[in-house]
Chains A and B, each alone.
Chain A
Amino acid sequence: MKKLTFISFSLFVSISLFFSCTKINNIEINDIGNYPQPLFEPLPIKVGVYYGNDFATFETTQKVKIPNTDLTYIDHVKMGKANTVLFDTILPMVFEKVTHVLYLPKGSDHMRNVDLIIEPAVHSYSIPNPTADGVYIHIVYDINFYLPEGEKISSWRIEGTGHALIQIEFKTEVTAVTELTQMAMRQVAAKFMTDFCKQADIKKLFYKECSQ
């Protein structure tokens, strides 16, 4: 009996110590913030967009150690919804017509009524430990381009970074991660809009449309 009491007590102390130094945050990002109407005429290209399951339900766990303290955050970030909202927002700004496609065409499938199929994917999401320079969040997307016949023509890697000075920000971890993720997403959105036509294979394929 004494032994059992001792084990229970030890377990209680260990769990208490663990939780005093580690905080678990469940962060669900469903929104991307407001984007202004871009200074951009939509390109006369009909685009089909395909969201894979990994992309539309993307979640990740990040361990963030706060410097000069014993505190560690375990951030469970769910951002599948924000991923789809991001591309549902920017693609109609860039292209004249955008439709959702439920699968990527293969073999003899030929997707009608689209000139190009776009499949965004999350390459990586990371929250490095904060430093004196502040706190950062990096997102990297791979944008895969397919012809209507299903042939993959290229993949374009776009990065976005959210950055805040830690010493002047007094926000909860949930708010900070959400805002920095949205900041990084906005950079991805801007890069997609400004550089789509600069991609070599896209430029070759849509020279006329991109020259307008």
Chain B
Amino acid sequence: MKFKLLCIIFIVSFMFGCTKSQIKDSLNADSHANQYTTVTIFPINLTDKEFAECVQEKLKHDLQYLKFLQGDKFREAMFPWFEPNTAPKNIEELSELLTKPLVKKRIESLGVELLIYVSGYTKETEQEQWGDQLTIGFSAKRETRILVTVWDLKEIVRVGDTDISFKGTVAGGYGIIPPFIYIWPALTESNACNETAERISNCLTGKDSSADK
């Protein structure tokens, strides 16, 4: 019986356990190594907050010399210039904004040298359910995508961006004969978050990230 159960778990794990990734990374590691002391990981929309917090936690762990100013605090301190519908979208808009003396002065007083925009989503598609009187199961395709743009506020340049997505299948179910339960999560959020943080970390420490996947 134990053997059967292990087989089922193994097969299910093999079927559903993988996540596929797609990575676009234009962060330039060479010229930005160890230059910064204070960073804001900034969720453009409030719905992106969880992704920003996840990336920040990972970066905090990897780059302990960096100070982080919370995205919410930055937004409040910069009101009304960094709301979802007013935040600069490109280097021209950012340059223009930084010509305003009050804005420039506030950024200097906050000490933020690097601003990292984070946005993203997780969506589930192709949800399926099946079963009979003795077994029941479900599966769904899951995708998490995190987009990041890194701005150097001292030099007023765009350091680069990343666009990372992970796809996987989440599945679960149970049976009565033989009795079993399985839950197989697709850890697309944490994979995308870890990969994003690693790319930023590599850029900030001058390490070379592996090529786009």
Q: Residues of A at under 8 Å CB distance from B? A: 35-41, 132-134, 159-161, 163-165, 168, 183, 186-187, 189-191, 193-195
* B84 in complex: contacting residue of A36, A39, A164, A187, CB < 8 Å: A187
Q: Is B35 an interface residue (CB 8 A)?
A: no
B80 pairs with A38, CB closer than 8 A: yes
Distance of A133 Cα from B120 Cα, bound (Å): 12
By a CB distance below 8 angstroms, the chain A residues around B63 are none
A186 pairs with B81, CB closer than 8 A: no
Q: Is B15 an interface residue (CB 8 A)?
A: no
Most chain A CB within a 10 A radius of its CB, from B77, B79, B102, B103: B79
Min CB distance, A48 to chain B, in Å?
Answer: 23
By a CB distance below 8 angstroms, the chain B residues around A133 are 121, 123
Distance of A161 Cα from B121 Cα, bound (Å): 18
Q: Which 4 A-B pairs have the closest CB atoms?
A: A190-B80, A190-B83, A36-B79, A193-B80
Q: Residues of B at under 8 Å CB distance from A? A: 45-47, 50, 76-81, 83-86, 100, 102-103, 106, 121, 123-124
> Which of chain A's residues has its CB closest to B77's CB?
A36
A contacts with B: majority SS: mixed
Distance of A132 Cα from B123 Cα, bound (Å): 8
By a CB distance below 8 angstroms, the chain A residues around B106 are 39
By a CB distance below 8 angstroms, the chain A residues around B103 are 39
Distance of A182 Cα from B102 Cα, bound (Å): 26
By a CB distance below 8 angstroms, the chain A residues around B45 are 163
B83 pairs with A186, CB closer than 8 A: yes
17 contacts between A and B (CB under 8 A): A36-B77, A39-B100, A39-B102, A39-B103, A40-B80, A132-B123, A132-B124, A159-B85, A160-B85, A161-B84, A163-B47, A164-B47, A187-B86, A190-B79, A193-B80, A194-B81, A194-B86
Distance of A28 Cα from B123 Cα, bound (Å): 33
Knowing A163-B47, A164-B47, A193-B80 are in contact, say whether A40-B85 is a contact too (CB < 8 A): no
> Which of chain B's residues has its CB closest to A164's CB?
B47
By a CB distance below 8 angstroms, the chain A residues around B121 are 133
A191 pairs with B77, CB closer than 8 A: no
Knowing A41-B102, A132-B124, A164-B47 are in contact, say whether A36-B76 is a contact too (CB < 8 A): yes
* B85 in complex: contacting residue of A39, A164, A187, CB < 8 Å: A187
Most chain B CB within a 10 A radius of its CB, from A159, A165, A183: A165
Min CB distance, B89 to chain A, in Å?
Answer: 13
Distance of A164 Cα from B84 Cα, bound (Å): 13
Most chain A CB within a 10 A radius of its CB, from B84, B103, B123: B84
> Which of chain B's residues has its CB closest to A162's CB?
B46
Distance of A195 Cα from B123 Cα, bound (Å): 34
By a CB distance below 8 angstroms, the chain A residues around B76 are 36
